[in-house]
Structure 1
Amino acid sequence: MLPHLDPADVERVRGCFTDAGYTPDGVRALLGRSAHDALTRGEPEPAARASRDGGELGTLVRLFLLDGCEPEPAVTAALGDLDPLLAGRIVRRTPDGIVAGLDVRPYGEAGGDDPGSPDDANWWVVSDLDSPASRQDREHVTGVGGASLSLAAATVRRPVASLLDLGTGCGVQALHASRHAARVVGTDLAPRALALARLSCELSGVPVELREGPWLEPVAGERFDQIVSNPPFVPGPARVDYVYRDSGQAGDSALAALVADLPELLNPGGIAQLLGSWLNVRGENWPDRVRAWIPDGCDAWILQREAVDPAMHVGTWQRDAGLVPSSRSARAQATTWLDWMDAERVEGVGFGFLLLRRHHRADLAPRIVVEDLPGELTDGLGPEMAGWLDRTTWLRAHESDADLLAATLRLAPEVILERASGVGEQGWSELSTTVRRWGTPSWEHEVDDVAASLLAGCRGDLPLSELVELLAVAHDRPVDALVSGTLDPVRELVRHGLLVPADGWDPA
């Protein structure tokens, strides 16, 4: 029997959580920063100590977050009648007391810069317990992890009428989507995942349509304004060891097929955002491989966050599944996996983000950009993804040299200029000059003295054509030569947000 709660019990349990303060802010306040940070690192003992005098909230923290066994009277005091939770497999009775049957975790989204804002969302995410035995179950449903957090932070949050969470798992993306989408549909192949997603959404008071089925079958013939997906993208042999990560198809072919098919589910102008992983194959250019997946009629931005060698890839995902890489069974699995990679000439495995936008018009030329994400990812990519869409639209509207020259640009306030020098026989000599956006992602471009002067002149008061003419005079260069050498670099600087239109991103 799958985990479940009747609607009346859902309301009652939600009320118990709220009354006890079992919310993200409540748990942080009880534990304090040090113990909360330790719990985030997977070190439970400081949190256990901090929760000792926490009353009902302390009981819930130890029960659901610390794998504790709590006296039944204490759990009853916190949650009321336990029979529905026992029958629904939310908790279990043991000879020593009550233990959690599922991970029920406070989660949320800030509604503003101030903690405790009335616009904050308080949710509860229900997933399987994060124990080695549970993680090795083929049907294991993961909770709030690095992948789901990365996708949530990279998602464009603009109001839309409809959003599809493809492969919803325990429902994390659907919860976030409810904040900016009027209608949210979540799908998953696994009945257990849908049962836990239903609990997550119902406990959180978030209405989501949940449908069972593989890939795009549950929404065949429908269209959405936005799609988000954290699909089973781990490249390997054609098998399914764990439903949450393995597609059953060899390598990255399942992701390639999904990317090719998704635009058919988008309304004109709609966007799809995915996490993905692709093979770096010997003798092939990985950007060309991934670029070939994009169907006609789409813009696309593919960002590779990192690339690892086959051994690191296999070891990482074995540990993620709770396996000990040195165990006999794990070594046998690794042998099969690495043999497959050798046969397929795999030199590395890339991981990153994919953004697609379906064109409004059939005659639009596609803009497909595949590149590495520079530096460490310290901030969410959501604003950057939205900015890339705006910048691509603006560049399309200023595609001709005449339109670009007529534009008035300014340097983004977070851009800095860096000069690197080295010591030679004559003393210091300049090696390079770079302009870089401060923050994440830290896009940077090398520039010469003329380009640096041009950027310094982009203050939002003169069109680009006049700036080029002034520079031609100052540097004794022909205007036509300066124009031909300037416009393509300017387009790249606009695309990465170092140069912005003085009047904003309205393409008109």
Structure 2
Amino acid sequence: MLPHFSDEFCARLADTLRVVGYDADGVVAALGDQAHAALGRGEPEPARRATTDGSALATLIRLFLVGDRVPIRQAHAALKGLDPAEAAATGLLRFDGDTARAGLDLRPYGDEDGSWWVVADLDAEQAGAPVGADHVLGIGHASLSLARATVRRPVGSLLDLGTGCGVQALHASRHADRITATDLSERCLALASATFRLNGLDVETARGSWFDPVAGRRFDQVVCNPPFVVGPPRVDYVYRDSGLAGDDASALVVRGLPGVLAPGGVGQLLASWLHRRGEDWAERVTGWLPDEGVDAWFVQRDVAEPAMYVGTWLRDAGIDPRSAEGSAKASAWLDWFDANDVVGVGFGFVTLRATGADTEVACEDLRHAFDDPLGPEAGAWLDRVAWLRANDDPARLLATAFTTPSTVVLERVAEPGAEGWSELVRRLHRTDGPGWQQETDELVTALLAGCRGQVPLGDLLALLAAAHGLPTDAVVQAALPVVVDLVTHGMLLPGDLA
């Protein structure tokens, strides 16, 4: 039976949760930082110890976050008069004798601007059994990663393609005037609708496969957390399996985005791609794009070897790889990888913008750790690419006064020798964003030191050429590609982007 949360029930439930203080900040305050962090790691005992006072907030934390059973009368008191039987009819609660337990995952989730509630299915650990084929995933690492990687600028219309429990649409409500959320799964849309109603959001929902529900429409922004798990063409779990072979699901979304983006519109998704023997991953994903009409930025955050990849996703579904079921699934999966020369699976983010120009593609490895969210960098990357397109004439570049941002630092690595320190490498670092690094040389180092937003690039290069006894034309010819690359990565900025 599909869960159904009426508008009236959601309004009363939201009022109750608000009064009790069951929100992101309230839960952290009740548990304390250490118990809250432990709960996030799947260690519930510290949270139990922090919720022994019998308060309404403690009861809801035990019910929905810890996964404990509580007396029905205690659940009734915590819900402030909401009839537990009514909550059970929606699927939110289940009864075992005189105790109640969570039937669905209902948890606070917030950002720096406030808190929401998200409704999803219980995970395998909470449910005490492997998840079902139509399982609706809650707030996971993938959805959090996409939320942090999404550009947050005001837009008129936004499409959340494959909304799941609705997390991306919640974030979109901060900056989009109109939101459309689609999914193939009827259960996903039922729980996403509950999430939207509970938070008082007016979100259009539509059911269908991939782009079918919005055929003929255009959006200013599209976000998508697709079922990107790669392997044989099967569907064990709708939240992760597309029924398409290999990385065809990611390819389908990338190929389809230009057709639903308004001019200048931006699409972003999580994606996976195969690393096949003898094939460069960048060439593979570039082949998903048209020759004209988009700027595309592929950022590879991780690469997993096949055995680790299979084991990770088996455990994700609550399947022990050592069990008979786990062994059978792993064997079939690894056989498919072997048959298709797969030596690894890449994972990362894709950002596309609809343009009227020749397609520009950047494929970059970004596997090092960094703290800043990727969304602002994705937006800035689009700005820098647009600026470079508008100023692709060498004369324009040479007439521009660039600035080296204060977040760019120079690192020198040297080793001791018979005559003192001998420099091995010079490296530029960005200390913000994704922490780009780039090896450099003495001339580029001197150029960046002179880029303070006052002297045109051409004049600086002429001064450098004279100082080093080099022909100016040769210095300019060598420097311009370096300057373009530095601008692309935010290590050198024109005045209107600084």
2:215 counterpart of 1:220: yes
2:61 and 2:249 map into 1 onto residues whose CA distance is 39
Residue equivalent to 2:24: 24
Distance in 1 (CA, whole Å) between partners of 2:367 and 2:302 is 10
1:308 aligns with 2:304: yes
Structure 1 position 425, deviation (Å): 4.7
Paired position in structure 2 for 1:198: 193
1:423-462 map, 5 Å: 423-462=416-455
The Cα offsets for residues 168-193 of structure 1, whole Å up to 9 and x where unpaired, read as: 00000011101100000000111111
Query: What is the CA–CA distance in structure 2 between the aligned matches of 1:185 and 1:213, rounded to whole Å?
Result: 13
Q: Secondary structure at the match of 1:460?
A: coil
Q: Who is 1:333 aligned against?
A: 329
Q: Deviations over 1:86-117 (max 9, x none)?
A: 11111011114011100100012212xxxxxx
Residues 5, 85 of structure 1: 8 Å contact kept? no
Q: Shift of residue 293 of structure 1?
A: 0.5
* 2:100 is the counterpart of 1:104: no
CA gap of 1:374–1:316, structure 2 versus 1, over 3 A, is closer
Equivalent residue in structure 2 for 1:171, among 157, 166, 174: 166
How many angstroms does 1:440 deviate by?
3.7
> CA separation in 2, counterparts of 1:69 and 1:136?
20
Partner of 1:272: 267
Q: What residue identity is the alignment partner of 2:33? A: R
Tell me which residue corresponds to 1:283: 278
- Contact kept, 8 Å, 1:186 with 1:209, in 2: the verdict is yes
Deviation (angstroms), 1:134: 5.2
SS in 1 for 2:453: strand
2:39 aligns with 39
Please give the alpha-carbon distance, in whole angstroms, between the structure 2 residues aligned to 1:135 and 1:454.
Answer: 59
Structure 2 residue matching 1:25: 3-state secondary structure: helix
The one-letter code sitting in structure 1 at the alignment partner of 2:201 is: V
Q: Matches of residues 195-274 of structure 1 in structure 2 within 5 Å?
A: 195-274=190-269
1:340-386 Cα deviation digits (max 9, x unpaired):
00000001000000000001x3xx22211011015214221011001
Deviates more, 1:125-134 or 1:275-284: 125-134
1: CA distance, partners of 2:41 / 2:176: 33
Give distance in 1, aligned partners of 2:468 and 2:342. 50
User: Could you state the TM-score of these two structures normalised by the residue count of structure 2?
Assistant: 0.97
Matching residue of 1:65: 65
Cross-structure match for 1:115: none
Q: RMSD of the TM alignment (CA)?
A: 1.2
Secondary structure of 1:39's aligned partner: helix
Q: How does 1:488-507 map to 2 (within 5 A)?
A: 488-504=481-497
Cα deviation for residue 422 of structure 1 reads 2.2
Structure 1 unaligned segments of length 5 or more: list them: 112-119
The letter of the residue matching 2:399 is: A
Give the 3 Å change call, closer, same or farther, for CA 104–151 of structure 1 in structure 2.
same
Match of 2:313 among 311, 314, 317: 317
Superposed displacement of residue 70, structure 1: 0.9
Deviation at 1:5, TM superposition (A): 1.9
Provide the identity percentage: 53
List per-residue Cα deviations over 1:183-209 (Å, max 9, x = no partner).
000001111111110111111111111
Gapped runs of 5+ residues in structure 2?
A: none
Within 5 Å, which residues of 2 pair with 1:373-392?
A: 373-392=366-385
Measured in 2, the distance between the counterparts of 1:206 and 1:48 equals 33
User: Structure 1 residue 187 and structure 2 residue 182: aligned?
Assistant: yes
**Higher mean C-alpha displacement, 268-277 vs 431-440:** 431-440
1:374–1:441 Cα contact (<8 Å) kept: no
* Structure-1 residue corresponding to 2:345: 349
What secondary structure, in the 3-state scheme, does the structure 1 residue paired with 2:70 have?
Answer: coil
- Which has the larger displacement, 49-58 or 339-348? 49-58
1:353-372 equivalences under 5 Å are: 353-359=349-355, 361=356, 364-372=357-365
Q: What's the CA shift for 1:446?
A: 1.1
Query: What is the CA–CA distance in structure 1 between the aligned matches of 2:252 and 2:8, rounded to whole Å?
Result: 42
For residues 253 and 34 of structure 2, what CA distance do their matches in structure 1 show? 42
TM-score, with length taken from structure 1: 0.95
Secondary structure in 2 matching 1:325: coil
1:130, CA displacement in angstroms? 1.3
Is 1:55 matched with 2:55?
Answer: yes
**DSSP 3-state at the match of 1:349:** strand
Instruction: State yes or no: 1:128 paired with 2:124.
Output: no
Q: Is the 8 Å Cα contact of residues 128 and 134 (structure 1) preserved in structure 2?
A: no
Instruction: Give SS of 1:334's match.
Output: helix
Q: Deviations over 1:55-104 (max 9, x none)?
A: 00000000011111111111111212222211111101111401110010
In the alignment, the residues of structure 1 paired with residue 59 and residue 131 of structure 2 have an alpha-carbon distance, to the nearest angstrom, of 28
Alpha-carbon contact 2:124-2:317 (below 8 Å) kept: no
State how far apart, in whole Å, the 1-side matches of 2:312 and 2:121 are: 20
365-374 or 261-270: which moved more? 365-374
